[in-house]
Amino acid sequence: MILFKKAADINNWLLKSKAAGKKIGFIPTMGALHRGHTSLIDASKHAGSISVCSIFVNPAQFNDAKDFDNYPTTIEKDIDALEKAGCDVLFLPSVSEIYPAGTGNAKTYDLGYLETVLEGKYRPGHFQGVCLVVHRLLTIVPADDLYLGQKDYQQCMVIKKLVELEKLITTIHICPTLRETSGLAMSSRNMRLTAEAREQALKIFESLSYLKNNIKPGDLTGLKQTAVNLLTNAGFKVDYVEIATAGDLDIINHWDGNRKLLAVAAAFLGDVRLIDNMLL
Ligand code: AMP
């Protein structure tokens, strides 16, 4: 695996590879890698692309300074995991390499409704920061294909919108959420949980599964409240447990039995905020 730290260096190298007829698959991450991340590398490798992973804990997308300070970093282990996964290129930039002019005068992206619901509502500014970094990364890494995890469903929709708004040529591939055998969605933030808290964290999966197993056409308010109670009674501070349309994240309280739906949840265990979702 080749490691680049400078934007100009990786950009030159990748442009040469592209000129030689290679396709570039890109997997942006914030590190503290787990099998969910390496499954994205697998998908890119499967397509026969040069697989580029970036590790950059993007300060612009943290609406909570403590969350940023506490974000796990395990760079030696990450490099090892990427080598084992057969990743071709790692981009490991500094903040000044990504934001040479800072973020004070950063452009804003018109994300419309997407920025007003769920993660958009509970993490103000978060998706602007996501767009800023992904846009910048895609100017450095001329990716044909971008591999994203369904675990961050709304983020996938935001990045699709970014690609549309900026008329980028990258194709987005959304890969399934990898879970522990218990059902807990793999997440870098799980590293901050004690063994006991990991057991508790399972309740998120259980509450989404409850929605999946019990949804019926008609009023959904009682069902949603039971799912919230499941988490509250397990010691979570719940931001939301919601049912939304899978296509446009329209939050619904009544189901016609036809529209394709998604259950989504975000909740704190102590100061660790976990999110998950499940297609119903
Ligand atoms: P992150 O490092 O959390 O910013 O995630 C980097 C990429 O990995 C994003 O596209 C995530 O959606 C994806 N990802 C994170 N967790 C999982 C998971 N459990 N399964 C599949 N993809 C994931």
Q: How far is the CA of 222 from the centre of ligand 1 (A)?
A: 31
Catalytic residue among 34, 37, 126, 135: 37
pLDDT score recorded for residue 84: 98
Q: Which residues pair with 9 in a beta bridge?
A: none
30 lines ligand 1 (CB under 6 A): yes
Active site residue 37: yes
pLDDT of residue 144: 98
Its pTM stands at 0.97
What's the CATH code, domain 2-175?
Answer: 3.40.50.620
pLDDT number for residue 248 = 96
172 lines ligand 1 (CB under 6 A): no
Choose which residue among 151, 153, 156 to substitute to test ligand 1 binding: the one with the highest number of ligand atoms within 8 A of its C-beta.
151
- Which residue among 26, 27, 29 has the greatest number of ligand 1 atoms within 8 angstroms of its CB, and so is best to mutate? 29
37 lines ligand 1 (CB under 6 A): yes
The CATH number of 188-279, from 3.30.450.20, 2.40.50.140, 3.40.50.10140, 3.30.1300.10, is 3.30.1300.10
pLDDT at residue 136 in the model: 98
25-82 tens-digit pLDDT: 999 999 999 999 999 999 999 999 999 999 999 999 999 999 999 999 999 999 999 9
Cα of 151 to ligand 1 centre, how many Å? Answer: 6
Which residue ranges make up each domain of the chain?
Answer: 2-175, 188-279
Nearest atom, ligand 1, residue 40 CA: 22
* pLDDT < 50 positions in the chain: none
Domain 2-175 and domain 188-279, same fold? Reply is no
pLDDT confidence of residue 263: 98
